[in-house]
Chain A
Amino acid sequence: MEELAATDFNVYVGTETGILKGINLNQKAVIHKNFHKIQALDREQEITSVAWGNEEENEILMGLRNQTVRVFDTEAKAFVSTRKINVGEGPIVSLGRMDGITITAMKSGQVTLWQSDNAVEINALAKGEFLTRMRQDPTSPSVIATGGKESDLHLWDFNTPEEAIFTAKNVKPDMLELRVPVWITDISFLGDHHSIAISSRHKHIRLYDPKRQRRPTISFEWEDSPLTRISAVPSSNGQVVVGTAHGRLGLFDLRGRKPEEPVHVYKGFAGAVRDVVVHPKQPLVFSVSLDRFLRVHNLTSRKLVFKEYLKSRLNCLLIRENLEEMDFIKGANTAKRKMPTQEAKTEAKIKVPRANPEVTDAEWESLTV
């Protein structure tokens, strides 16, 4: 059992102490494992970002505070290589990948594409204090979005690194004619392929449509707490999940009639949400928070399906795409003996619309002909 489980971790978590943890949400039990020798770590090796290194999801890129990119092989369960990059200052903010080539973004604003012959560099911080986030467009990977403190949303293309494709314009001054401060904490490309949602430390959730205008099309505030993370729901067009620094997590429908009212609020957090991922295939919201817990909520029934104490403060999160829901939910069920999870499971089953359309289409055609 132990060996079987160890071969397939489906969630990876990067911590503030520098430990990478693999978690297997399994039928029988939850197994988590540290991949580091703890003694060798220090505060400078805090994992600030993680990303998949290839399509098969057997390589993990880890960005550390001391400007190092480390690669972890999930098959061999070992660190394959480390690369020290000396660009700019401050920790690595985000990592990305384009055709197998690593992209790094530093706090001081340099975004670099590490090609073998010559590296392409974008200086994403013409003005402003520091960069907080870089995200890649999932549909066209050469396009990236950046944002930071006093640095509003920018879109860049690696084919034309000199100038930004799109620069956002700040919203109009408020009722007291004071400038609204900018401090983007996270960016997310929505499922409709042309709009971008951001969250800010000044409590704003904004929706940009680069084709239409430079100012946000939707801008509103949520709660009296800085927003830390925003993540699009892959199966929908305009839904995003937003986490706050006080430990709240809400689902918003930016295309709905009332975008500023959360559709659902996911509960159970004691500390700030540090990273949120909605699973691309299953209706599950994975989140890690500063209170050292990994939590999994059901997207639609908002029940807490699963939680696990992971001992360190957690920073970032990676999930395998081929996570099998049935496995996982059962595991949570036996481990925690909770009634709600069962309910969640049935709902989840109903809510999976992927397989159905094809079948019905075929049937439909056969009926009509």
Chain B
Amino acid sequence: MEVDTCTAEESQQDELQDTVMPAHTNIKDIKNKSRRAKAFVEMKREKRKKKLQEAKEKKKLATKLGKNAPPKKQPHTIESLREKDDTMVEEEDEELEHEEANDEYASYFTKSYVPKILITCSDNPHTKTIAFIRELCRIIPGAVPKWRSRSSIKKMVKKATDNGFTDILVVNEDRRIPNGLLVIHLPEGPSALFRLSNPKLCKDIHRNYNEITGHRPEVILNNFRTRLGRVVARMLGALFHYDPEFKGRRVCTFHNQRDYIFFRHHRYEFKNTEKVKLRELGPRFTLRLQWLQQGAFDGDYEWALKRHEMETSRRRFFL
């Protein structure tokens, strides 16, 4: 006991004797400006040195281990940090498969009808909208453009069903630029409204529309992961003929990223087993879902975007 207390006292005395200037752990606590700046530069240099050293070692290790090297860390993005969604579709879901086998699009996916699409627009369309409709008709096989001529959508739904159409596309315009796309599946829905933005025609991206051949295109529906996204993807996919002509090497892509659906249109060419040559044909545009309704423009809403109620987080997506 006694010995212990002695040593403790001694050490205390030692500390008292060697009083030194306090070592600054925090640079911002240094009062003198020039010294603070100097310390900061020093700290930066140290940090950088350390970082470079680490990178070097990592590289060395990777070359040394070859295939067994530790995997590269993925950077965080808004998408990789996406909020968990209950409705995310899992593989091998019996209930979902059953529902999809019995829904309105089941007959398209069993290839029992060829889609016939009516494309129209709001009344008195202007140059850009007309050109946009023209290009849509070039992309979608079996599409028929029609003037709206003051007809109501409900009437149009009835008439189009009688005339054997399977879908209606209505392009809306504002300030002479197309800004909305309404997709209605016939005869009994669903229907969806998309906001259309950044429409770029073939001419705008310096392409000639003659490059678009009359072959039936392939369709790629990319990254639709929730239950709602799945419905939307089926809806967009069912606008095209189910049997693509691979000879034409034409491909239409609907790529979903953060709830924005990007449409691109390409022709591809396999140079060899690794390399693929892509040529964009145009047009390109972006869609964003506003609502999804159960019936053919008449019925309850399966999903409706409520901006302030639903958009509570930057990392929350619905498709």
User: B-contacting residues of A (Cβ < 8 Å)?
Assistant: 17, 19, 34, 38-39, 41-43, 226, 228, 245-247, 267-268, 270-272, 274, 290-292, 309, 311-313
In the assembled complex, the CB of B268 is this many whole angstroms from the nearest CB of chain A, namely: 37
Q: Chain A contacts of B94 at CB under 8 A?
A: 38
Interface centre among A38, A41, A228, A271 (most CB of B within 10 A): A271
Nearest residue in B to A245 (C-beta to C-beta)?
B300
Contact A290 B95 (CB under 8 A): no
Contact B300 A311 (CB under 8 A): no
Nearest residue in B to A309 (C-beta to C-beta)?
B86
Contact A17 B102 (CB under 8 A): yes
Nearest residue in A to B305 (C-beta to C-beta)?
A270
Q: Chain B contacts of A226 at CB under 8 A?
A: 300
User: A-contacting residues of B (Cβ < 8 Å)?
Assistant: 86-87, 93-96, 98-99, 102, 227-228, 294, 299-304, 306, 309-310, 318
- Complex alpha-carbon distance, A34 and B294, angstroms: 24
Contact of A292 among B87, B102, B318 (CB under 8 A): B87
In the assembled complex, the CB of A315 is this many whole angstroms from the nearest CB of chain B, namely: 11
In the assembled complex, the CB of A206 is this many whole angstroms from the nearest CB of chain B, namely: 21
Contact B95 A38 (CB under 8 A): yes
Contact B303 A311 (CB under 8 A): no
Contact A312 B300 (CB under 8 A): no
Shortest Cβ-Cβ A-B pairs, 4 listed: A272-B300, A309-B86, A245-B300, A38-B98
Contact B303 A271 (CB under 8 A): yes
Contact A290 B302 (CB under 8 A): yes
- Complex alpha-carbon distance, A349 and B309, angstroms: 28
Contact of A290 among B99, B102, B294, B310 (CB under 8 A): B294
Interface SS of chain A: helix, strand, loop or mixed? Answer: loop
Q: Chain B contacts of A41 at CB under 8 A?
A: 98, 102
Q: Given that A38-B94, A292-B87 are known contacts, is A228 also in contact with B302, CB under 8 Å in the complex?
A: no
Q: Chain B contacts of A42 at CB under 8 A?
A: 102
User: Could you list 18 further interchain pairs (A-B, Cβ under 8 angstroms) beyond the known A267-B309, A270-B303, A271-B304?
Assistant: A17-B99, A17-B102, A34-B95, A38-B94, A38-B98, A41-B98, A41-B102, A43-B102, A226-B300, A245-B299, A270-B318, A271-B302, A271-B303, A272-B302, A290-B303, A292-B87, A292-B227, A312-B99
- Complex alpha-carbon distance, A226 and B298, angstroms: 10
Q: Chain B contacts of A311 at CB under 8 A?
A: 93, 95-96, 227
Nearest residue in B to A45 (C-beta to C-beta)?
B102
Contact A39 B304 (CB under 8 A): no
- Complex alpha-carbon distance, A228 and B87, angstroms: 24
Nearest residue in B to A19 (C-beta to C-beta)?
B95
Q: Chain B contacts of A272 at CB under 8 A?
A: 294, 300-302
Q: Chain B contacts of A312 at CB under 8 A?
A: 95, 99
In the assembled complex, the CB of A197 is this many whole angstroms from the nearest CB of chain B, namely: 20
Q: Chain B contacts of A290 at CB under 8 A?
A: 294, 300-303
Q: Chain B contacts of A270 at CB under 8 A?
A: 303-304, 306, 310, 318
- Complex alpha-carbon distance, A245 and B301, angstroms: 6
Nearest residue in B to A274 (C-beta to C-beta)?
B300
Contact of A247 among B102, B227, B301 (CB under 8 A): B301
Interface centre among B227, B301, B310 (most CB of A within 10 A): B301
Contact of A271 among B86, B93, B102, B301 (CB under 8 A): B301
In the assembled complex, the CB of B77 is this many whole angstroms from the nearest CB of chain A, namely: 25
Q: Chain A contacts of B99 at CB under 8 A?
A: 17, 312
Nearest residue in A to B96 (C-beta to C-beta)?
A311
